[in-house]
Amino acid sequence: MIELNKVSKNYDTVKALQDVSFKIEPNEIVGFLGPNGAGKTTALKIITTYLAQTSGKVTVGGYDVLENPLKVRELIGYLPEHPVLYLDMPTLDYLKFVGKARNIKGAQLKKRVDWVIEKCGLQKVVYKKIHQLSKGFQQRVGLAQALIHDPQILILDEPTSGLDPIQIIGIRDLIKEMSKEKTIIFSTHILSEITHICDRVIVIHEGQIKADGKVDKLISTVPSANEIYLTLKENASDVEKSIQAIKGVNLCKVEKSDSDCVTYKIGGDSDVCLEDEVNAIVLEKKWKLKYLYGNKASLEDVFIYLTQKDSQGGDK
């Protein structure tokens, strides 16, 4: 549905994107992550024909974004990070205006306006001017305009910005519902939203793609993805030797020691169930156990690992 092939974008001497390539299939929900200045918004603006790339090729629905920009725009609903709204217009009039600009007329226009008002929870503000609305409601109006023409592709840049927790859940559920028939790119700094919504994650940093895959797969690449902590009530002499003998364990060291207990940090390959293996050793050796708990990596750990290791010249 969307394909970027060696896409670069330069602003004078600044390389915002460098040979970026990825594909997004129909009905995928893809999370697009990166720190500020990573190139996310630039990539989204190129896909939506707001910007032209310096080099490379971009196709959307089979159409080249430079050769057929109007066809591409017909396929896409775009919610930018800062929605461009006509603040002096009432919400209802604005949505009708956007629908007409999308060449929707008559009964179909009314049907689409009524649908986006309901789905985006705008019933209470249809007659209010947009400048009178809270940031959260303005965000929802921005989402409504992106949906008005029932696009095949949704590109959402920080769609839950300014929303309260209940509103976020509502927008999350709407996105999941629409994913059954739409392709969605979801860019946000709220990593928990990506975990809840997206099938796949693309991480961009300094204009380059650093990772692309399923959330669980990316988490398994983080060095701390499979770590546990073992606290014993005594200092047994053979703890490190015994645990390091477990197949797949690659780390066992004293993390903390005091007069009452010793805590060990234990790491292993992603396919090793450290809790079970270590618990078995504890029982076999009859060590006096105080705590045994895991420290599973999260998408936040993936993000930090991928975006910091390059800037620090290696792994974090």
316/310 Cα distance (integer angstroms)? 9
Tell me the Ramachandran region of residue 94: left when phi exceeds 0, alpha when psi lies from -120 to 50, beta otherwise: alpha
Please tell me the total count of domains within the chain. Answer: 2
Sheet holding 249-257, edge to edge: 249-257, 262-268, 227-232, 289-294
Residue 126 and residue 269 share a domain: no
Question: Is residue 59 domain-resident?
Answer: yes
Same structural domain, 247 and 200: no
d(CA 184, CA 5): 19
pLDDT at site 141: 93
**Among candidate residues 159, 182, 213, the one where a domain is terminated:** 213
Q: Are residues 157 and 200 in the same domain?
A: yes
Same domain, 58 and 160: yes
User: Do 7 and 53 belong to one domain?
Assistant: yes
All residues at 6 or more sequence positions from 269 whose CB lies less than 8 Å from its CB, including other chains = 226, 248, 250
First to last CA, the chain: 35
Residues pairing with 154 in the sheet: 77, 184
pLDDT at 309: 61
**Mean pLDDT confidence for 234-248:** 84
Quick check: is 304 in a domain? Answer: no
Domain, as residue range, for 170: 2-213
Average per-residue pLDDT for the chain? 87
- Percent of the chain at pLDDT > 90 equals 44
pLDDT, tens digit (0-9, with 9 covering 90-100), for 40-55: 889 999 999 999 999 9
Give the ranges where the chain is alpha helix by DSSP (H): 40-47, 69-75, 91-101, 106-119, 135-147, 165-178, 191-197, 215-219, 239-244, 274-285, 299-309
User: Does residue 300 or residue 121 have the better pLDDT?
Assistant: 121
In the numeric block, which tokens belong to residue 68? 């057929």
pLDDT of residue 71: 95
- Which residue, 213, 235, 251, sits at the end of a domain? 213
Q: Is the domain of 145 the same as that of 196? A: yes
Q: What gap in Å lies between CA 3 and CA 22, rounded to an integer?
A: 6
Residue-level pLDDT at 235: 74
Residues 233 and 193 in one domain: no
Same domain, 98 and 6: yes
Q: Give kind and range of the element (H or E) at residue 155.
A: strand 153-157
DSSP for 47-84, please give it.
Answer: HTTSS--SEEEEEETTEETTT-HHHHHHHEEEE-SS--
Q: Does residue 218 lie within any of the structural domains?
A: no
306 token code pair = 């991928």
Residue 201 CA to residue 218 CA, distance in Å, equals: 8
Q: How far is it, in rounded angstroms, from Cα 66 to Cα 70?
A: 9
Position 143 pLDDT exceeds 60: yes
Residue 68 to residues 26, 48, 64, Cα–Cα distance (Å)? 20, 11, 6
Any domain includes 46: yes
Q: Are residues 172 and 237 in the same domain?
A: no
What CATH number does the domain containing 288 carry? 3.30.70.100
| 258-300 pLDDT tens trace | 878 899 888 887 777 888 888 898 898 888 888 888 766 677 7
- Whether residue 127 is predicted with pLDDT greater than 70 in this model: the reply is yes
**Which CATH number does the domain housing residue 192 bear?**
3.40.50.300
Short-list 134, 157, 155, 144, CA closest to 87 = 134
Is the pTM value of this prediction over 0.85?
no
Task: Write the CA distances from 245 to 227, 239, 248, 278, 281, integer angstroms.
Answer: 16, 10, 9, 11, 10
> Is beta strand 29-33 parallel, antiparallel or unpaired with respect to 200-205?
parallel
306 belongs to a structural domain: no
Of the three residues 181, 213, 245, the one that is the final residue of a domain is 213
Residues 148 and 175 placed together within one structural domain of the fold: yes
Looking at the fold, whether 167 and 127 belong to one and the same domain comes out as yes
80-113 pLDDT tens trace: 888 889 999 999 999 999 999 999 999 999 999 9
Structure tokens at 311: 């800037």
Q: β-pairing, 249-257 with 2-11?
A: unpaired
pLDDT at 21 over 90: yes
Asked if residues 153 and 75 have their Cβ atoms less than 8 Å apart, the reply is yes
Clarify whether residues 68 and 207 are in a common domain.
yes
pLDDT band at 176 (very low <50, low <70, confident <90, very high): confident
